[in-house]
Amino acid sequence: MTILTAIFLLCYILIPGGGGVFQWYRWFRWRRRFYGSLLFPLWSPGKPLTGREWRFLGTVDSLVRDHYLWVRCNGLLVWVDLSRVLLHLLPGVEEDRLGGMEVLHAEDVHHLPSGASVYLAGRVREENGKIVLDPQSQPVLVLYSVPLHNLVHSVISSARSVNEFWNPLTLPFMGVGMLLLLLFGSVSIQTHYLEGLLSLTAAFLPVSVFFPPAVFGYYLHRKLWKMGKKALVTYEQATLPWKACRRRPEEGTSWEVGDRRYRMREEGASFVLEVREVETGAADPLLHGYTTPPYTRPSRMWWKGWGLLLLAALSLVLSVVIEGTLILMGVDYLMGG
């Protein structure tokens, strides 16, 4: 029974679950970094480059030897070493698309279209006559094709996993677990009938959700999970003006951070964020006009999202338990137990 329990826990729950937690945390940390980069001033010609972190809106100029990228920003060329900086590719789809952002490593980048839009944030330095993006400043590099005014909304919805449990570790370890449980059950069922029966039943659990009646619970699980994820996306979109600007809603609707002035304007059930430079009055191209989704209380969306995810998980577990019971009865009948 110890071997059966260990295989079941490791291959079906702990390793896929651990991979899911890692994947969730990776996207969570990257989104926080992206939100933080929205506070950086937007670079324009005439401003000093070194000594602080900047945001750049530019285009792909050229790709050199597969992993060196030149980004052109208002006449400035920034050298990016893709072997040390991750490139995030935002799909050119509607802004409410859930998931879909790709992370490209240097070995995955072989061609980038010249003129493609780039969002770049981080610290730069001069090195051998070039302006180089400092990889130690945890830079943000996004290649996008959505309209600029939709970029922030699209990043919030796309920079996440649709279902963290289905990660690169899930299928391999579930497959290994199925084979081990089948082998263990086939060997032990003659001498330890109960252990063998449970092992054979557990071996078929991963595929049991594709057969009735569990398939209906699996469909409900996917529906609830997607609804929960969208609720959490709505929560982040609604609270972004305060998360990105390090400010609580009750602290007022007008404030200054650095060289920019922020103002929240209420429009019906939504808020519109206005961001302008203090000196010039120029509007921020990314944040000015950002509109939150209609809502009453953001905390309700948070609770709704996590509640739906919990219900989705429970529906899947219940479906597997019911199907597992049927499999157990079927195997027991076939073995003449």
For 65-97, the pLDDT digits (tens) are 768 999 999 889 999 999 999 999 998 765 557
Residues in the chain: 337
Give the residue-averaged pLDDT of 22-40: 93
What pLDDT is attached to residue 4? 84
**DSSP collapsed to 3 states, 104-156:** ECHHHCCCCCCCCEEEEEEEEEEECCEEEECHHHCCEEEEECCCHHHHHHHHH
Q: Which of 210-214, 223-227, 246-250 has the highest mean pLDDT?
A: 223-227
pLDDT reading at 10 higher than 60: yes
Q: Which of these, 305, 131, 327, lies nearest to 234 by C-alpha position?
A: 305
153-171: burial string, b at 16+ Cβ within 10 Å, e else: bbbbbbbbbebbbebebbe
pLDDT reading at 168 higher than 80: yes
* CA-to-CA dists, residue 128 to 74, 83, 134, angstroms: 21, 19, 14
Give the residue-averaged pLDDT of 211-238: 91
DSSP 48: -
Give the residue-averaged pLDDT of 141-169: 91
- Residue 316 contacts by C-beta under 8 Å, 6 or more apart in sequence? 209, 217, 218, 221
The average confidence (pLDDT) of the chain is: 88
Helix, strand or coil, per DSSP, at residue 324: helix
- List 12's β-bridge partners, or say none: none
What pLDDT is attached to residue 100? 83
- List 263's β-bridge partners, or say none: 254, 274
DSSP assignment of 56-111, as one string?
EEEEEEEEETTTEEEEEETTEEEEEETTTS-EEEPPSS-TT--S--EEE-GGG-S-
Q: How many whole angstroms separate alpha carbon 53 and alpha carbon 24?
A: 27
Cα within 13 Å of Cα(170), Cβ side: 12
Report which of residues 302 and 248 the model is more confident about: 302
Helix, strand or coil, per DSSP, at residue 254: strand
Q: How confident is the model at residue 292 (pLDDT cuts 50, 70, 90)?
A: confident
Q: What is the share, in percent, of the chain residues with pLDDT greater than 70?
A: 94
What pLDDT is attached to residue 233? 92
- List 62's β-bridge partners, or say none: 70
User: Taking the CB of residue 186, how many other CB atoms lie within 10 A of it?
Assistant: 13
How far, rounded to the nearest angstrom, does the alpha carbon of residue 173 sit from its chain's CA centroid? 22
- Residue 306 contacts by C-beta under 8 Å, 6 or more apart in sequence? 228, 232
User: Taking the CB of residue 184, how many other CB atoms lie within 10 A of it?
Assistant: 21
Report which of residues 66 and 101 the model is more confident about: 101
Question: Which range among 208-212, 227-231, 291-295 shows the weakest confidence by mean pLDDT?
Answer: 291-295
Q: Which of these, 62, 160, 80, lies nearest to 120 by C-alpha position?
A: 80
Q: Which of these, 53, 46, 42, 3, lies nearest to 259 by C-alpha position?
A: 42
Q: How many whole angstroms separate alpha carbon 303 and alpha carbon 309?
A: 10
Report which of residues 249 and 140 the model is more confident about: 140
Q: Are 85 and 103 in contact (CB under 8 A)?
A: no
Q: How confident is the model at residue 19 (pLDDT cuts 50, 70, 90)?
A: very high
Q: How confident is the model at residue 107 (pLDDT cuts 50, 70, 90)?
A: confident
Tokens (6 digits) for 53? 């972190």
Q: How confident is the model at residue 295 (pLDDT cuts 50, 70, 90)?
A: low
* Angle subtended at Cα 27 by Cα 21 and Cα 33, rounded to the nearest 5 degrees: 135
